Chain A
Amino acid sequence: MKYALLSDIHSNLHAFDACLAHAQTQGVERIAILGDLVSYGAFPAEVVARCQKLQQDGAIVLRGNHEELIQTHNIHTANPNPSLGSQTAEWTHDQLSPAQRFWLEILPLTAQVDQMLLVHASADAPDRWRYVEDERTASLSLDAACAHPDVRYVFGGHVHHQSLYYRGTGRQLMAFKPTSGVPIPTPKHRQWIATIGSVGQPRDGNPRAMYAVFDSAVGRLTFYRVAYDHRAAARAVRDAGLPEFFAQRLETGK
Chain B
Amino acid sequence: MKRLEAGTELDGFRIGACLHAGGMAHIYEVTYADERPAPFGMVMKVPRMTAGDGAENIVGFEVEHQILQVLHGTHVPRFVAAGDLVNMPYLVMEHVPGQTLQQVLDAHTHNHTHAEVADMARLGAAIARAAHSLHQQNTCHLDIKPANVLLHPDGHAVLLDFGLSCHAHYPDLLAEELRKAVGSPAWIAPEQVVGVRGDPRSDIFAIGVMLYELATGELPFGNPQTNGGMRQRLWMDPTPPRRLRDDLPEWFQEVVLRCLEPEAAKRYPSAAHLAFDLEHPEQVKVTKRGKQLEGTPFFTHFKRWLKAAGMHYQPSPLPSQQIDEVPIVMVAVPNHEASDATLYSLRQSVARSLGLRPGARLAVVTVISPNLSSTSEHDKSETTLHRQYRTMLQQWAQPLDLSEHQTSYHVLEASDTANAIVRYAEGNNVSIIVMGAATRGLQMQRFVATVPIKVAMEAPCTVILVKQTLPFERLNS
Q: Interface on A for B, CB 8 Å cutoff?
A: 135, 164, 166, 168-172, 174, 176, 179, 182, 184-185, 187-190
CB proximity of A194 to chain B, nearest CB, Å = 11
B310 at the interface (CB under 8 A from A): no
Which residue of B has the minimal Cβ distance to A192? Answer: B171
Q: Are the CB atoms of A171 and B66 closer together than 8 Å?
A: no
Give every chain B residue within 8 A of A169 (Cβ-Cβ): 56, 59, 173-176
B85 at the interface (CB under 8 A from A): yes
Which residue of A has the minimal Cβ distance to B62? Answer: A187
Which residue of B has the minimal Cβ distance to A188? Answer: B86
CB proximity of B196 to chain A, nearest CB, Å = 14
Task: Give the contacts of B49-68 with A (CB-CB under 8 A).
Answer: 51, 55-56, 59, 62, 65-66
What would 7 A/B residue contacts be, using CB atoms closer than 8 Å?
A168-B175, A170-B175, A171-B177, A185-B170, A187-B51, A187-B85, A189-B55
Q: Are the CB atoms of B86 and A168 closer together than 8 Å?
A: no
B178 at the interface (CB under 8 A from A): yes
Which residue of B has the minimal Cβ distance to A186? Answer: B171
CB proximity of A248 to chain B, nearest CB, Å = 30
B169 at the interface (CB under 8 A from A): yes
Q: Are the CB atoms of A182 and B86 closer together than 8 Å?
A: no
Give every chain A residue within 8 A of B325 (Cβ-Cβ): none
Q: Interface on B for A, CB 8 Å cutoff?
A: 51, 55-56, 59, 62, 65-66, 85-86, 169-178
Q: Are the CB atoms of B169 and A168 closer together than 8 Å?
A: no
Give every chain B residue within 8 A of A164 (Cβ-Cβ): 171
A174-B177, A187-B86, A189-B55 in contact; A179/B169 too (CB < 8 A)? yes
Q: Are the CB atoms of B171 and A166 closer together than 8 Å?
A: yes
Q: Are the CB atoms of A174 and B176 closer together than 8 Å?
A: yes
Q: Are the CB atoms of B176 and A182 closer together than 8 Å?
A: no
Nearest 7 interchain pairs by C-beta:
A170-B176, A176-B171, A172-B177, A168-B175, A168-B176, A189-B51, A182-B169
Q: Are the CB atoms of A168 and B85 closer together than 8 Å?
A: no
CA A189 – CA B169 in complex, angstroms? 20
CA A171 – CA B177 in complex, angstroms? 8
A185-B66, A187-B86 in contact; A166/B173 too (CB < 8 A)? yes
CB proximity of A114 to chain B, nearest CB, Å = 16
Q: Are the CB atoms of A174 and B169 closer together than 8 Å?
A: no
CA A184 – CA B169 in complex, angstroms? 8
CB proximity of B37 to chain A, nearest CB, Å = 29
CA A176 – CA B175 in complex, angstroms? 11
Q: Are the CB atoms of B177 and A170 closer together than 8 Å?
A: yes
Give every chain A residue within 8 A of B62 (Cβ-Cβ): 187
Give every chain B residue within 8 A of A171 (Cβ-Cβ): 176-177
Which residue of A has the minimal Cβ distance to B85? Answer: A187
CB proximity of A121 to chain B, nearest CB, Å = 22
Which residue of A has the minimal Cβ distance to B168? Answer: A179
CB proximity of A230 to chain B, nearest CB, Å = 26
Give every chain A residue within 8 A of B178 (Cβ-Cβ): 170
CB proximity of A176 to chain B, nearest CB, Å = 4
Contact of B171 among A135, A184, A188, A189 (CB under 8 A): A184
CA A135 – CA B172 in complex, angstroms? 15
Which residue of B has the minimal Cβ distance to A178? Answer: B169
Which residue of B has the minimal Cβ distance to A172? Answer: B177
Q: Are the CB atoms of B171 and A174 closer together than 8 Å?
A: yes
Give every chain A residue within 8 A of B171 (Cβ-Cβ): 164, 166, 168, 174, 176, 184
Q: Are the CB atoms of A168 and B170 closer together than 8 Å?
A: no
Q: Are the CB atoms of A189 and B59 closer together than 8 Å?
A: no
Beyond contacts A169-B56, A171-B177, A189-B86: 11 other A-B pairs, Cβ-Cβ < 8 A, are A166-B171, A168-B173, A168-B176, A169-B174, A169-B175, A169-B176, A170-B176, A170-B177, A172-B176, A174-B171, A176-B170
CA A179 – CA B320 in complex, angstroms? 14
Give every chain A residue within 8 A of B59 (Cβ-Cβ): 169
Most buried by A among B56, B59, B176: B176
CA A172 – CA B175 in complex, angstroms? 10
Contact of A174 among B56, B85, B172 (CB under 8 A): B172
Q: Are the CB atoms of B86 and A174 closer together than 8 Å?
A: no
CA A164 – CA B171 in complex, angstroms? 8
Which residue of B has the minimal Cβ distance to A175? Answer: B171
Give every chain B residue within 8 A of A135 (Cβ-Cβ): 177
Give every chain B residue within 8 A of A174 (Cβ-Cβ): 171-172, 175-177
CA A185 – CA B24 in complex, angstroms? 22
Give every chain A residue within 8 A of B86 (Cβ-Cβ): 187-189
CB proximity of A221 to chain B, nearest CB, Å = 10
CA A171 – CA B51 in complex, angstroms? 18
Give every chain B residue within 8 A of A166 (Cβ-Cβ): 171, 173
Give every chain B residue within 8 A of A182 (Cβ-Cβ): 169-170
CA A190 – CA B178 in complex, angstroms? 19
Give every chain B residue within 8 A of A168 (Cβ-Cβ): 171-177
Which residue of B has the minimal Cβ distance to A190? Answer: B55
Give every chain B residue within 8 A of A189 (Cβ-Cβ): 51, 55, 85-86
CA A184 – CA B176 in complex, angstroms? 19
Give every chain B residue within 8 A of A188 (Cβ-Cβ): 86
Give every chain A residue within 8 A of B172 (Cβ-Cβ): 168, 174, 176
Which residue of A has the minimal Cβ distance to B179? Answer: A170
CB proximity of A58 to chain B, nearest CB, Å = 28
Which residue of B has the minimal Cβ distance to A218? Answer: B84
Give every chain A residue within 8 A of B65 (Cβ-Cβ): 185
CA A70 – CA B177 in complex, angstroms? 41
Give every chain A residue within 8 A of B173 (Cβ-Cβ): 166, 168-169
CA A172 – CA B56 in complex, angstroms? 15
Most buried by B among A135, A174, A185: A185
Give every chain B residue within 8 A of A176 (Cβ-Cβ): 170-172
Give every chain A residue within 8 A of B174 (Cβ-Cβ): 168-169
CA A185 – CA B169 in complex, angstroms? 10
CA A135 – CA B171 in complex, angstroms? 14
CA A176 – CA B62 in complex, angstroms? 17
CB proximity of A32 to chain B, nearest CB, Å = 22
Most buried by A among B51, B59, B62, B170: B170
CA A169 – CA B178 in complex, angstroms? 10
CA A168 – CA B169 in complex, angstroms? 15
Give every chain A residue within 8 A of B176 (Cβ-Cβ): 168-172, 174
CB proximity of B72 to chain A, nearest CB, Å = 15
